[in-house]
Structure 1
Amino acid sequence: MTPTLDVLRSHRSIRKFTEQPILPEQLDAIMAAAQAAPSSSFLQASAIIRITDPALRQQVMALCGDQAYVGAAAEFWVFCADFHRHLQWVPEAQTGFAEQLLIGAIDTALMGQNSLIAAESLGLGGVFIGAVRNHPAELVTLLGLPKGVVPMFGLCIGHPDQDPEPKPRLPREMMFFENRYQTEQDPALMAAYDQAVLHYYQTRTGGNKSMTWTGQIGATLAKEARPYMLAFLHSQGYCLK
């Protein structure tokens, strides 16, 4: 094993942080790692808003469901897909296509993952915040995001004040296929995985949460999440064609 693989395999979401700040050289290293992520067609279709103003951070936290770690982490960044930059410098550029949303989302996700891996390699921890999409129109106004910029997710980064166990992942046989997608899967594998997830939640919460993976998926996918999203994307100039 290599140190890089050790960092990748030991990932845990950290939601409790100390008050210790992140050093400037650490921030610089994380930003450099983010920018080193691959970019489709070299479009570099992302922007990152670093929230340093305490009052603004509290407002953003409120829009993210008042998740305390959004306010407590040493750093909170909002990762955005960004095609405004392209129109700014090349006004005749053609935008609004659905494929561009995919490009922006993928580019931005890769930057986010690079950022977190870099932070973890420095002994820091973090957690991604999908709740920045809870009130996207309000967040656009709050952060002054122009048309062509869409908030995708947030990232808390800081010094960990907890040491949770890694979540058990799906059996490899259920995710890695050779040549063709495998539609028929072993029910026994899923049953065993459900028990592993149930044990994880019971242990992590002291028995306050008892849920299997399939139970969690059933609850999460019982209805449409964020039904306003397509209209919001249209308002920001995405998926128009």
Structure 2
Amino acid sequence: MSDSSQDPIRELWNTRYRDACPDAQLAGNETVLSLLAHRSIRSYLAEEVPENVLAAALAAAQSASTSSNLQMWSVIAIADPARKARLAALSGGQKHIEQAPLFLAWVLDQSRLRRLGEAQGKPTEGLDYLETFVVGAVDTTLAAQNAAVAFESFGLGIVYIGGMRNHPEQVAAELALPPGSMVLFGMCVGYPDQAHLTGIKPRLPLAAVLHRERYDSGKEAGLIADYDRRVADYLRERGANGDHWSATVVDRVGGPQSLGGRDRLREALAERAFKLR
């Protein structure tokens, strides 16, 4: 790679990790540039997402890996303001769902395979097992991330909405989902409002997540202590409290009360005809 293409890669690396790039020969290309520049967007312009861009992003989604070619996902594109407002309320009042010109509901969809089995007079009991649910969740997530990368390559921004799992039954009713399907998460899509653009949130250092040959937690404490300081600095720069990441995430998994209503997800899945044997 030429020197002219090294600087943006190194700059984005330094921003993402808030640390100097360790390798003078860091590999990079336009795809890596786009990925390192990712940030969650929660403020959007009113401009609509072009249909040809939506089609391209969903073709990218369908190009993602899928276990055994089962393709256990669907997506619902939502632009109706009233429906977006209802979904925003169900997700805990996330106003960016209403503001985004396009909201995508990513559906873990076993119902299509169930209908195919019924049409062919064949059993589909394999859908009742936790393994198959996990496969569907992985497939849906891989597809959505491909779409996210595609959207960002066209200058759009996205933010994932896990709040779709706060009230899965009500979301399913709003979107007329058949049994054996659920909205795994949502995705706001639109052109970012540059006046409200946030910074790039730092991630754990690479050394904290990359292990060689065997898992090694011995190096973890010092790396996370350094990361806590970097996250605190980032938050203070945004005018927020400089809380430590490690304390925040432990609180986030402290108990059922910290899950925002999602502690009853197994019950909701049973209601949606997922057996999870």
Q: Please tell me the TM-score bracket, short chain as reference.
A: over 0.9
1:39 counterpart = 2:61: no
CA RMSD of aligned residues (A): 1.2
Question: Percent identity of the aligned residues?
Answer: 34
- Say which one has the larger Rg: 2
Segments of structure 2 that go 5 or more residues without pairing to the other structure are: 1-27
Greater RCO, 1 or 2 (C-alpha within 8 Å, sep 6+): 1
Segments of structure 1 that go 5 or more residues without pairing to the other structure are: none
Q: 2 CA distance for matches of 1:51 and 1:175?
A: 36
1:19 counterpart = 2:50: no
**Structure 2 length normalisation: TM-score?**
0.83
Q: 1 CA distance for matches of 2:225 and 2:32?
A: 29
Which stretch of the first structure deviates more once superposed, 183-192 or 53-62?
Answer: 183-192
1:76 counterpart = 2:103: yes
1:174 counterpart = 2:205: no
Q: 1 CA distance for matches of 2:223 and 2:142?
A: 30
1:184 counterpart = 2:218: yes
Q: 1 CA distance for matches of 2:197 and 2:107?
A: 29
After TM superposition, what 4+ stretches of structure 1 lie above 3 angstroms from structure 2? none
Match of 2:124 among 93, 101, 104: 93
Structure number with the higher helix fraction is: 2
Q: 2 CA distance for matches of 1:71 and 1:125?
A: 15
**Structure 1 length normalisation: TM-score?**
0.95
Q: 1 CA distance for matches of 2:274 and 2:215?
A: 31
Aligned to 1:107: 139
Aligned pair count? 239
Q: 1 CA distance for matches of 2:159 and 2:101?
A: 12
Amino acid at match of 1:87: R
Mapping 1:112-131, distance limit 5 Å:
112-131=144-163
1:133 counterpart = 2:169: no
Aligned to 2:233: 199
Q: What's the secondary structure of 2:75's corresponding residue?
A: strand
Structure 1 residue 90: deviation in Å?
1.5
1:7 counterpart = 2:31: no
CA contact (8 A) 2:169 2:272 kept: no
Match of 1:152 among 165, 168, 184: 184
